[in-house]
Structure 1
């Protein structure tokens, strides 16, 4: 009951916007990567596979592998999460589905993945998505890239959520924000793993920001009422990126972690903005929306088919919105 009251209070407080809403504009972008937590991790992998001619790498924090759910809510909440049921995770089905989608031009050429990079994380104290499930991401991507391009971290005693070195609850204890302070800069590790040739600098813990953090109008990219994405998203733009060439990173929140539930907690405290400030990255935080009547009460990203059966492809409703956002920011369309 206390947990429910906290959620209701947060929902009420976040019904009022505290940021100036911006219209997304074009920047000079040289490379595009994605990452996410839990359902956001699944979404990041889906975007990477579907748009590999545009996106060059993905980070998956405590999320299942590509098309793990096979379009089934039951499978997504059992085999794709539980340590006891991972024998039911059919890797051949996932790989064959990706290849089928490729043959139908529903995902970009899987050959693109060969020279790209992936990050996979699972905390030893995670009781939501087991490490054995997270490791299936390795099994999937090894079919398309060398193991040396897959960065894995399975040794940190983190609960389910984003890991930082300056914000969140105790490392191994779950909390309603799904943010864990484990004295580990996960945002830096992800971005440096996805950009191994750029020698990124690690910021001081909780470093002050110099750029612009704002809400942006996400609804202008919707073409379907069943997208189940929030009307607003978040963006962070370092000062230098207003005039210089920068990288673009898209970070997907997890279930119960979007604006409709916790506001900008994840977008402001994940650690990406500090890394971005020091290393010339623009960071965009798309927002899924909680909906009691749309089959998504927890505000998860669609990785089991609540929007439609093509959710993991270029024709997926949420992926199409993400691609439109990328096109606006990176390609001036």
Structure 2
């Protein structure tokens, strides 16, 4: 039977889709030679806050934390108003835009506020004493890479300084990325990622600075490593399969939605990790970056991570969280998570002040379950 021109075009499109390195496959990763008992984690903005929470709560397993524009551990103290007004520089204007005029009260002010780091340190020690996080002694020697652009108008210099003081107190090995004039974004050295200013709405920008590369080389103590072309294969994990199911929430899909998690996380496996033993790095996007496929792709595929996966022998896990509209989960939830941020103020643990930052936090448990699954063989 003769092949028509339309059939040829359709066949060509299917072949291009299958061969494209930017198109995540729908199947789960194959059996890999991994040891997920220790891993590293990083993130941007709320993803950086979550990376810190995972790193502190599971400090016996997390050997390094990469922080790009993130607030310190427990900064929000379980309150969205404190998260936005004290830990960030956004103040009442942004709060009012998100949550309504009640947040325009005079007690909320724009600008930076001092952060009482010693209070955060004391609360961290109490959580460890109550066995809600790993013993703080494990943070000694933990490698920390932190960066904040001098033009960042979301996370201020005081929050960054508090982050530094916090890990210094626990004897973390801290490396600060050289300050550059970058806004609140993930800087890359790829000009196709957009202008290095606030007009770049996916928060991944071409800033002539490979933040992911500097960070990963620092965390793995391989400063001479060189990036490759990012060859490898994409896979997907169905996040509902890894959500901790509680007695009152027996449906994994419903539990996933209550936590604001998207349908799937993506996993990047460089070619060499099919045969060689590799490590695991978890990369967490910032607010809004999980709300659309385009923004999530910009972070996971355009953020620079994959070009270092092969040289550093790392399987990359990119979890994803979406938005929860105010009142979407019921009348008790007038705030929700409309910007699609990882939980760093308590929207998943409304009755537990510090619960969002402990080993039992539902988002953290989900992330750890996914990490553990990557090391299982068929």
TM-score (norm 2): 0.77
1:84 aligns with 2:108: no
Root-mean-square deviation (CA, aligned residues, Å) is 2.0
Question: Is the CA contact (8 Å cut-off) linking 1:125 and 1:158 kept in structure 2?
Answer: yes
Q: Post-superposition shift, 1:330? A: 2.9
Distance across 2 between alignment mates of 1:65 and 1:331 = 33
Match of 2:189 in 1: 165
1:301 aligns with 2:342: yes
Question: Is the CA contact (8 Å cut-off) linking 2:212 and 2:303 kept in structure 1?
Answer: yes
The structure number with the bigger radius of gyration is 2
Question: Is the CA contact (8 Å cut-off) linking 1:59 and 1:118 kept in structure 2?
Answer: yes
Distance across 1 between alignment mates of 2:298 and 2:260 = 20
Correspondence list, 1:252-271, <5 A: 252-260=284-292, 262-271=295-304
Correspondence list, 1:239-278, <5 A: 239-260=271-292, 262-278=295-311
Task: Name the SS for the 2:372 alignment partner.
Answer: helix
**Which ranges of 4 or more aligned residues in structure 1 deviate by more than 6 Å?**
none
1:211 aligns with 2:232: yes
1:131 aligns with 2:157: yes
Q: Post-superposition shift, 1:93? A: 1.9
Match of 1:236 in 2: 268
Question: Is the CA contact (8 Å cut-off) linking 2:28 and 2:235 kept in structure 1?
Answer: no
Question: Is the CA contact (8 Å cut-off) linking 2:29 and 2:236 kept in structure 1?
Answer: no
Match for residue 51 of structure 1 among 47, 53, 58? 58
TM-score (norm 1): 0.88
Distance across 2 between alignment mates of 1:234 and 1:58 = 20
Q: Post-superposition shift, 1:223? A: 2.5
Question: Is the CA contact (8 Å cut-off) linking 1:200 and 1:279 kept in structure 2?
Answer: no
Distance across 2 between alignment mates of 1:244 and 1:51 = 26
Cα–Cα, structure 1 residues 174 and 125, in superposed 2: closer, same or farther, change >3 Å? farther
Distance across 1 between alignment mates of 2:377 and 2:131 = 24
Question: Is the CA contact (8 Å cut-off) linking 1:79 and 1:86 kept in structure 2?
Answer: yes
Query: Per-residue CA shift, 1:132-182, capped at 9, x if unaligned?
Result: 212211010011115xx2111252111111111114222234421001211
Structure 1 gaps, min length 5: 1-17
Q: Post-superposition shift, 1:201? A: 1.3
Task: Name the SS for the 1:142 alignment partner.
Answer: helix
Match for residue 195 of structure 1 among 217, 220, 233? 220
Query: Per-residue CA shift, 1:182-227, capped at 9, x if unaligned?
Result: 111111111111111x445122xxx533210233222210124122
Give the number of aligned pairs: 310
